Amino acid sequence: MSRYILTIEYDGTPFCGWQRQKDVATAQGRLEDAMLPFLKKKITLFGSGRTDTGVHALGQVAHFDFDGHIDCFRLMECMNAYLLDVPMNVLSLQEAAEGFHARASAIERQYLYKILNRQAKPCLDANRVWHVSPRLDAAAMHRAAQFLVGKHDFSTFRAAGCQAKSPVKTMDQITVTQDGDILAIRVVARSFLYRQVRNIVGSLVLVGRGKWSTQDLLDALGACDRRRAGPTAPACGLYFVGTKYPCAQ
């Protein structure tokens, strides 16, 4: 039995998240269906992280097992031909190193959240940014975000339905930068709670609008109560950037 690894990008707008579900389009389901004509058997993919409905991926990683040799280039080409009608591409496909697991082997995951901060609604970036009209103070958002870096109980930013055993996570990095009308929030950690990034972004926007101070954000974090956080930012602005592994894949 050999293990293979894929890197995939997709626009999450037409998908009901990553995980295969009955009677709805999902990223995992569409990829598994795209493999069937070439491999002639049903394959189960294991992703490095799940994405919600409408969340995009720049470098989603997944693996699968197959009993036999595969021409990786031909399989990738066949999959991409099958995926022409959806905004999804397989960027790479190769045999994985021994012991590799797309989820369990990960030592770092990175997300990007994009905000369009102007009066006019998005046209070219529709469904790919959160449109926030009131002017945001990106510098204030960045300063406040630094207090979330490190090991904390993130219960305040944990959505209902989260299956993580503990709300304690270590945030390695959060940055807020601005380029013209686009604010980019980058978040790096080994793992995340359900909707943690979107809930953090919603709170940081309150800081950026001047409705919250840095102390308000700290008080919300310390409360360990979801009711104390800001609103959940919409899925359309969130991108799963990629996963880091300790050695060659």
Q: Which residues are catalytic?
A: 52
Cβ pair 55, 127 in contact under 8 A: no
DSSP per position, 186-245: EEEES---TTHHHHHHHHHHHHHTTSS-HHHHHHHHHHT-GGGS-PPPPGGGEEEEEEE-
Angstrom distance (rounded) from CA 60 to CA 102? 9
Neighbouring C-alpha atoms within 13 Å toward the C-beta of 174: 24
> Which of 157, 153, 130 is CA-nearest to residue 229?
157
Return d(Cα 48, Cα 61) in angstroms, integer: 5
